Structure 1
């Protein structure tokens, strides 16, 4: 049953990227890339092509932010799932913390999942192997050297404290 789990059909509680004005720059840079490509074709100047490549690269990297219907993180009876990472079993989770990090003029909330087992035994399903066309796209997670998975929860469609409370509640229920 667990082997049948894939990234698209995990069930349970899930959180997706929110749809708001913060992702407007992705659309703007896509339009700029098209405008710069057109300018390069019309004028034959290579500097327009360089600008188009930069704008297209930014757009490509941030495309996952536009996938608002796709579950990005969540939890079910098997554990915590993270897009492009995998499904972490409940017994491998030592602690789930919500940390506020001050960055320049704003505060960012980060969900930190500390593992009590090596990553290879903590994962029920490993989704880190992505298709080639997704290799350079934004990932919702970062792994620290101390066996901790770090997730920036600001771009999601639910408040950070609600995500944290739900994960804690499910962790306490399913690990017992």
Structure 2
């Protein structure tokens, strides 16, 4: 039953990408790709085609930011779910931290989920296998060699500290 759980069936507390200015550059680069493609077709110059391909590649990579209504991360009675990663069971989590990382002129808020078991036994449902058309799109997560799953919380529609507090509260409740 749980192993057959799909991404769209999770329920519980969920967070999606925000509807603010996050997706504005995606629309701009899509328009630029169309303009450059048209310029390449009209002039016959290949450098316009190269610029169109670069703008289209950026747009394609960032398409998940446009899926503002789709739950990207969240939690339910089984554990924490992350889009295109899976459902991590509560007892497999060692700790949940909120890290503030200074990058250039801004601060990035990152949720760090440390696992106390290997990934194969930590996942209740494994969603890492994606359709071929989504293989090169942006992922909301990354994982380091120590078994820590990292999620950048800045593009989401909720405050990073609220997401962290909710996950901590649910983790303490469900693992006992």
Deviation at 1:106, TM superposition (A): 0.6
Give the corresponding residue for 2:11.
11
Q: Is the 8 A contact 2:13 2:76 kept in 1?
A: yes
Alpha-carbon separation, structure 1, partners of 2:155 and 2:103? 15
Alpha-carbon separation, structure 2, partners of 1:101 and 1:147? 19
| Runs of 4+ that moved beyond 6 A | none
Deviation at 1:3, TM superposition (A): 2.5
Give the corresponding residue for 2:118.
118
Deviation at 1:4, TM superposition (A): 3.3
Which consecutive residues of structure 1, in runs of 5 or more, have no partner in the other structure? none
Normalising to structure 2: TM-score of the pair?
0.99
Alignment partner of 1:155: what SS?
coil
Normalising to structure 1: TM-score of the pair?
0.99
Let me know the Cα RMSD of the aligned residues: 0.6
Correspondence 1:1-176 to 2 at 5 A = 1-176=1-176
Alpha-carbon separation, structure 2, partners of 1:84 and 1:120? 15
Which consecutive residues of structure 2, in runs of 5 or more, have no partner in the other structure? none
Q: What is the CA deviation profile of residues 116-151 of structure 1, one whole-angstrom value per residue up to 9, with x for unaligned ones?
A: 000000000000000000000000000000010000
Deviation at 1:5, TM superposition (A): 1.3
Alpha-carbon separation, structure 2, partners of 1:8 and 1:146? 29
